[in-house]
Amino acid sequence: MAFVREQGRPRPSPLGAEVGGGGFRITPEGRSFAAQVYVTLMDAEEPAARYDLPQPVQVLVTGEVDRVSPHLFELERTNAWSTIGLEASTVSERVPVKIRPAIDPVGLVLRLDVIRPHLDVTLSSSSIQGFGLESADVVVRAEGLPNPAGQVVVLSADRGRLSKTELVLDEHGVAMTELRSSGTGMVRVVAYGPAASSGKEQIWFQWPLRFLLAATIGGVIGALAGELRRGGLRGKPSNRVALDVLGGVLLGFVVTVAYAAGVSLLALEIPRTGGEALVFTIAALGALGIALKVKLPNLTGGGDLSAGERHGPSPS
């Protein structure tokens, strides 16, 4: 593009443009994206020169957006910047915008980047025991999202059960839920938010070897303790003792698995943060039959077994 000054010689005058803030950013209301572009004409031979043009140059701005303000304006001087506002409810990764002076059929095409808010997903543990025996806290935090309170984030996981799949952010842009394991293997947790780039994190569902070991040891010790309290080791055939101990172990295992799944068969208030020590304790209590809420079947015969019936009176 060129124009003629008073001396009669054409002056090359390229169109210059700068993108404000790096591109499109979400608006304070959080409902759309906005960007600003600054446009000027420069004298190619004297880039720093500022003077009036022989006549104003009309400029048209178009793009894949909902609003351009102004979409039509005039440049009257070199090195005099004009501001263009752009806004769109949805945007692609790079938004094309064309700026075309009336005297230039080609014009200038810009591709504006989109700076989206980011969702950060954090898990309370990088690995938990599989088959529904353990759970992890999932925290989602929105970074760069203005006025996040009340915004909804959608959460998904390859495997396992999320307590909630739609989370409502608080005023700090944070929301929390729980993921319970299912099966074993690597699981990806992904968060999708309003006008935000998705966030993801991985967690490993392990084979519950530690759980099985702690539950088995706790069940054996609890069952043996129960036999000792009832005097069952005196004068009882060894195979019957073994069956009684096995029955106690199985009962302890049932109580422990139920507790891990969120169903407490114990009348005691027990914290859920004890790890293997907690598993051991619950298995032992289940095998002993202490503080059970319900009657459990006597796996060695003889009908139902409650806490009182299991212990019976202490031998004299």
- Domain ranges for the chain: 2-115, 118-206, 209-311
For the chain, state the CA radius of gyration.
36
Secondary structure (3-state) at 197: strand
Q: How far apart are CA 86 and CA 65, in angstroms?
A: 7
DSSP string, 25-72: EE-TTSS-EEEEEEEEE--SSSTT---EEEEEEEEEEEESSSEEETSE
Q: What is the pLDDT of residue 22?
A: 92
- Weakest mean pLDDT among 110-119, 264-273, 304-313: 304-313
| 8 Å CB contact between 167 and 177 | yes
What contacts 45, CB < 8 A, 6 or more positions away? Answer: 11, 12
Rounded Cα distance, 111 and 255, in Å: 62
Measuring CA to CA, which residue among 230, 228, 227, 226 is closest to residue 285?
226
DSSP label at residue 132: T
pTM metric for this prediction: 0.69
**pLDDT for the residue numbered 55:** 87
Q: Does domain 2-115 have CATH number 2.60.40.10?
A: yes
Q: Which of 44-58, 199-213, 221-235, 290-304 has the highest mean pLDDT?
A: 199-213
By three-state DSSP, how is residue 15 classified? strand
Dihedral (Cα; 159, 162, 166, 168), 10-degree rounding: -130
Query: How far is Cα 12 from Cα 240, in angstroms, rounded to an integer?
Result: 105
Q: What is the rounded average pLDDT of the residues 73-92?
A: 93
Residue type present at position 132: G
Least confident segment among 57-61, 271-275, 300-304: 300-304
For residue 86 the two structure tokens come to 């752009």
Q: Quick one: average pLDDT of 202-207?
A: 96
59 vs 230, more confident? 59
Report which listed range, 5-14, 215-224, 225-234, is most confident.
215-224
Q: How far apart are CA 230 and CA 289, in angstroms?
A: 12
Average pLDDT taken over every residue of the chain = 84
Q: In this predicted structure, what is the pLDDT of residue 58?
A: 94
| pLDDT number for residue 8 | 60
User: Do 2-115 and 118-206 share a fold?
Assistant: yes
Q: pLDDT class for 239, splitting at 50, 70, 90?
A: confident
The SS3 call for residue 123 is: strand
- Domain 118-206, architecture per CATH: Sandwich (2.60)
Q: What is the pLDDT of residues 84-116, one digit of tens each?
A: 999 999 888 899 999 999 888 888 999 999 999
> Rounded to whole angstroms, how far apart are CA atoms 284 and 273?
17
